[in-house]
Structure 1
Amino acid sequence: MYSDNPLILNLLSLLKQFGIRRIVISPGSRHFSIIHSMENDPFFDLYSVVDERSAAFFALGLIQRYNEPAAVCCTSGTSAINYGSAVVEAFYQRLPLLLLTADRLPEFLGQMEDQMFKQDDAFHHFIKYHGQLKQISNSFDEWFCNRVINEGLLALNHHGQGPVQLNIPIENHHLDTFAQTNLPAVRKITRYFSYERTEVWNGIANSLRGKKVMIIWGQTHHTAPELREVFNTAVKQLGAVVLTDNLSNWNGDNTLDDTFLLLRALKRSEKSEFSPDIVISMFGNYVFNGEIKGLLRPLGKSFEHWLIDPSGIICDPFKRLTRIFEMREDVFFSQILTAGIESKSDYYEKWKLISDILEEPKVPYSELYAIGDFIKSLPKNVDLHIANSSPIRMFSTFKLDPTIKVYCNRGVNGIDGCMSTTVGFSANTDNPVFLVIGDLTFFYDMNALWNRHLGSNIRILLLNNEGGAVMHMPLHDRMASILPKHVSAGHGTSAKGWVESLGIRYISATNERECQDGVQILTDNSYTGAVVLEVFTQKESDVKILKEYFKSLNRETLMDKVKMKASSKIKGVLKHFNI
């Protein structure tokens, strides 16, 4: 019988799935539940060595003999630190030694508890990975621990071998019960490399056949030519849908760039129809992060997430990561094409149907209006920087000409340095470089314009609604009057004096006509010189207009439009949806 502790069940299940069977045990009680559970499973080969110093070296001998990872397991307190000499030896000898160190709950640290010291980072400089686990009390804890254990076990053999520590807090080992007859089939994460055998790639390709495949293409600045052709071929053969936004800078087959709106337009009753079997993600972040998680996370175990990332780092945003492909993206798609992935899936066509009925915002004077007017006038083949917060979200409601390259500091999604990055980008080019930025972000980084390298080619659309409107979005309208002082940093500041003092042309707009005239000057390629257009709006009105536009995306209100616009080709698909 196994322990009823879900943390121990996860640990043992993954030890077995990763094939780690040899466990060297030293005496004690804190790790009793782990050891007693192993005693009842014939998979594990257990060795009892009293002195932890000797036990860890004993484990090194097992690793050398069998050329496989081995584990040591001990109670809390000084037992763990006694592994030190062998850990250092394993680190420099590059041996996959797994340290399973039992511990008391971290809340007791420094509170005069018996057998406790800060053992979570005791081997900081001499291990490949340290995983601090936690007691499992809900599904979030279970996902976290499962992910950390997977990360630790994968690290034993990742980019060379070496020791790994999993620190395991156990609250009441003396009260544990043992009623589980089987270990749960918990998620195992598998890492693949470009040099996998042909039969492995055939198995990967077989996993894709007949499946609804969703590919999420994140932020990229440059797409390698070798990826373009192979990717387009692969997605057509798979019938996959490729979800992107303006940050992806990608326009290819089966690609939809209005994902931010698409996901908001799906009806709840349709989400199962549009849910994928396999999600393949690659590259950086995307603006529709919250929206895609809203679709995928409630699906539970009904889909898998595959990550393509040359770094091989585990990133599990949807809590369903099962495979990591540590390789270039073009290598992955070339390999599965070679293995054969022909599919007749109509998954992309279903998504395309919804995309076809979405309309860009037609709104009164506001931030959203100014952005729409700016996009319509923006020249082709220019570089566009968009600041974080509201601007990048609002841009995601419009389609851009595919010749326009988009940049945004989306790595951490902070407002720091958005203008400084643009100034740096524009320093050595004569081509116009555009920036759309909110007022708080502008004033936070205003010294970016006080720069001897400032190019005469920079054009800035400054959206000034006297505060951070994005802070109002998730809150009820009745709270608008109490937010500006601290939460949304209300102010009455203009950039006029600062901009003009730097010799930059300044234009302002307070209505539609002025906005249109200002945008024409801002986007005029024949004009030489830096320009700032400051568009003044009211944040309460901006938030209301944006919220109303998002409401208008509700599919319940769009059904009549679908029926009216549907061509004879689309009607067959509409029938499939019982519309």
Structure 2
Amino acid sequence: MIYSKIPLSQTIVTLCKTHNVKHIIISPGSRNAPLTIGFTHDDFFKCYSIVDERCAAFFALGIAQQLQEPVAVVCTSGSALLNYYPALSEAYYSNIPLVVISADRPKHLLDIGDGQTIKQKNVYGEHVLYNAHLKLDLKEDENAILENERPILKSIENKLERFLGLQKDIQTHNESEIHDALTISKLNSGPVHINCPFDEPLYDTTTELFINPKPFKLQNREEKIDRFEIKSLLDVWHSAKRKMILVGVLQPNSIEAQWIQEIADDDSIIVLTETTSNLHHPDFFPGIDKLIASLNDDDFKALQPDLLITFGGLIVSKKIKAFLRTYKPEFHCHVGLTRANDTFFCLEKHIKLRPNTFLSTFLPQVTHHTKSTYKSSWLTVRQKRRKLQEEYIQKLPFSDFKVFNTIIKSIPKQSQLQVGNSSAIRYTQLFQLPKSIDVFCNRGTSGIDGSTSTAIGSSIVAEKRTTLITGDLSFFYDSNALWNNYIPKTFRIIVINNEGGGIFRILPGDKNTENFDRFFETKHHLSAKQLCDMYGFEYVSANNEQDLDLQLESFYKGNKNPKLLEIFTPSRSNDKILIDFFKFIK
């Protein structure tokens, strides 16, 4: 086995192994050479080289999103780690365990004019769960004896003893900090930062392991059931005639089928699910915007819940946020291990359990189902909305709306769907997806900047084949995502190219002006074809309904190369078609 000669590097690599951090994404550099040497010469680790740091961090995010285990990104000093920030903030708000390990310069080399040197300590501020700033290993010449020290201390033996004692203190500090950071990332499902100063020489290797870390007891997240808390919620539950469960981002198979069915059997409950909830039942309500977009004041009052229970991560639908902020429930309880967002400004209780643990504890104690027409009346509305949607689509010209209707139906069963942000995820929300398709989207900060990199990272470890649906701006913004050697041949990208940020046309403001085109919609005439040629993707395109149907017939077939389908839609009509849809289903 080959190791770096630097004890700090050996300590980091060894403790990552102890904590079972297997996937290491390395952004090439010089200052992080000791770490690169250590990780890449140990077969325990699966190492990836991603040049663009922003892409590297989102790539790592995609892996961690799937595994729900800490994944590390390793970079050199300076601006490199700043490029990790977008993915790290996404990890923070999406509760994904991402570990940033940044190489740094020794303290005496900071702010003296050296290149790639910035103030790295606590650089991510409050967007990480833990900041570990490690100490530099000592060198003998840094431990010179002062002239006024007693002569006895000038002996070689005492000098060595003092040196070893100080190094032991440093080693203890570093081991403790690394252990705390990795433990917190795993237990609290979030990002941490480990900053490591290295002095030159950086490339020296050895076959000897100098360090012997103290054994740590690895911890698992324990769920503590508060019986009194459950009992107090039961009292509210039994008295509520209108119960609403709203489900945001959830991992697939988070809730067992028996609890899903028990919720569905209660006529006083309606369950509103987002596409990213990965939660399905014939009596649940996907397509939230379709249900509530055209309601009047009396309808809203009829829908207003007495009790609101929320599961999962952040919510896409702006309409449900607006509704519940205006027509507040009497009682809002969030169930989840991590933070509870007071999204509707009426949060009363946070039960720190996984949804399945909560339901398996809570539902057996429910003594009766309240008689109610709450669910049945809204199921009737839901059915009417779906029928009207089908009628509307039949009359549509080629447009974003029509394209999403077609491509959503084309996604292979038993696969994974990654969706870009902005209009891509909002259109996807309007359509039903089969239970066998797992859906993911970066909804932590909801940025367009790393959707492709995240999708590629997730495809590396996902058990199912992956398709990404994304908009043109998001795709071109993250085009360096294709610059890696790990993309599975079954990976598919569908780019909806409407020549700009079409979602801005839906928002209030003057449109069809030069100012709007340039600074809001950001008009362009780019195509993904040249990128596909450069990165070895098979490229096909469509700009009408017949072409699209023809291309989709073979798009998912064949495993020689990853493929990209670029669909060109008219930019000037999409906003009106979407707005008219909500008027039509009213």
Q: TM-score range by the shorter chain?
A: 0.5 to 0.7
CA distance in 1, matches of 2:288, 2:513: 29
| Structure 1 partner of 2:436 | 403
| Structure 2 partner of 1:534 | 566
| Structure 2 partner of 1:207 | 236
**Letter of the structure 2 residue corresponding to residue 213 of structure 1:** K
Q: 1:341-370 CA deviation, whole Å, 9 max, x = no partner?
A: 412222211221111111335121012222
1:245 has 2:274 as partner? yes
| Structure 2 partner of 1:151 | none
| Structure 1 partner of 2:456 | 423
CA distance in 2, matches of 1:417, 1:274: 37
Change (3 A) 1:528 1:351: farther
| Contact 1:201/1:339, CA 8 A, preserved across alignment | no
Change (3 A) 1:398 1:481: farther
**Letter of the structure 2 residue corresponding to residue 365 of structure 1:** F
1:218 has 2:248 as partner? yes
- SS at the partner of 1:420? helix
**Letter of the structure 2 residue corresponding to residue 295 of structure 1:** F
- SS at the partner of 1:255? coil
1:298 has 2:326 as partner? yes
CA distance in 2, matches of 1:206, 1:372: 43
| Contact 1:237/1:341, CA 8 A, preserved across alignment | no
Shift of 1:412: 1.0
| Structure 1 partner of 2:310 | 281
Aligned equivalent of 1:356, options 383, 406, 426: 383
Aligned equivalent of 2:474, options 441, 457, 477: 441
Shift of 1:337: 2.6
| Contact 1:210/1:345, CA 8 A, preserved across alignment | no
CA distance in 2, matches of 1:197, 1:515: 56
Aligned equivalent of 1:339, options 365, 368, 378: 365
CA distance in 1, matches of 2:445, 2:269: 29
**Letter of the structure 2 residue corresponding to residue 544 of structure 1:** K
Change (3 A) 1:323 1:383: same
Shift of 1:447: 0.9
| Structure 1 partner of 2:579 | 547
CA distance in 2, matches of 1:268, 1:234: 28
- SS at the partner of 2:518? coil
| Structure 2 partner of 1:502 | 535
After TM superposition, list the pairs within 5 Å mapping 1:505-520 onto structure 2: 505-520=538-553
CA distance in 1, matches of 2:464, 2:360: 36
Q: 1:438-491 CA deviation, whole Å, 9 max, x = no partner?
A: 110000000111211111111111111111011111125645553111112111
- SS at the partner of 1:540? coil
| Structure 2 partner of 1:384 | 417
| Structure 2 partner of 1:372 | 405
Shift of 1:429: 6.1
1:327 has 2:357 as partner? no
| Contact 1:242/1:255, CA 8 A, preserved across alignment | yes
| Contact 1:279/1:306, CA 8 A, preserved across alignment | yes
CA distance in 2, matches of 1:243, 1:421: 26
Shift of 1:510: 1.6
| Contact 2:308/2:333, CA 8 A, preserved across alignment | yes
Shift of 1:334: 3.1
Shift of 1:231: 4.2
Change (3 A) 1:399 1:314: closer
Change (3 A) 1:477 1:538: farther
Shift of 1:232: 2.9
- SS at the partner of 1:265? coil
User: How many percent identity over aligned positions?
Assistant: 28
After TM superposition, list the pairs within 5 Å mapping 1:113-192 onto structure 2: none
**Letter of the structure 2 residue corresponding to residue 349 of structure 1:** S
| Contact 1:419/1:448, CA 8 A, preserved across alignment | yes
CA distance in 2, matches of 1:224, 1:464: 34
Q: Which moved more, 1:436-445 or 1:532-541?
A: 532-541
CA distance in 1, matches of 2:467, 2:291: 27
| Contact 1:462/1:534, CA 8 A, preserved across alignment | yes
- SS at the partner of 1:305? strand
Shift of 1:256: 1.3
Q: CA RMSD in A?
A: 2.6
Shift of 1:527: 5.3
Change (3 A) 1:526 1:497: closer
- SS at the partner of 1:515? helix
| Structure 1 partner of 2:137 | none
| Structure 2 partner of 1:256 | 285
Change (3 A) 1:314 1:286: closer
CA distance in 2, matches of 1:336, 1:432: 36
Q: So what's the TM-score if we normalise by structure 2? A: 0.58
CA distance in 2, matches of 1:528, 1:351: 48
Q: 1:188-223 CA deviation, whole Å, 9 max, x = no partner?
A: xxxxx944346x533321211141100011111233
| Contact 1:384/1:406, CA 8 A, preserved across alignment | yes
| Structure 2 partner of 1:63 | none
CA distance in 1, matches of 2:307, 2:463: 44
| Structure 1 partner of 2:132 | none
| Contact 2:252/2:438, CA 8 A, preserved across alignment | no
Shift of 1:521: 2.4
Change (3 A) 1:210 1:437: same
Change (3 A) 1:371 1:197: closer
Change (3 A) 1:206 1:424: same
1:484 has 2:512 as partner? no
Number of residue pairs matched by the alignment = 360
CA distance in 1, matches of 2:263, 2:462: 37
Aligned equivalent of 2:296, options 267, 284, 299: 267
Unaligned runs of 5+ in 1: 1-123, 129-158, 160-192, 555-579
Q: 1:1-28 CA deviation, whole Å, 9 max, x = no partner?
A: xxxxxxxxxxxxxxxxxxxxxxxxxxxx
- SS at the partner of 2:517? coil
Unaligned runs of 5+ in 2: 1-124, 130-187, 189-222
| Structure 2 partner of 1:196 | 226
CA distance in 2, matches of 1:429, 1:328: 22
| Contact 1:426/1:457, CA 8 A, preserved across alignment | no
CA distance in 1, matches of 2:282, 2:268: 10
| Contact 2:453/2:481, CA 8 A, preserved across alignment | yes
Shift of 1:503: 2.0
**Letter of the structure 2 residue corresponding to residue 218 of structure 1:** G
- SS at the partner of 1:413? coil
Q: 1:229-280 CA deviation, whole Å, 9 max, x = no partner?
A: 2343245346311100211111136411121211213233211111100110
CA distance in 2, matches of 1:194, 1:235: 27
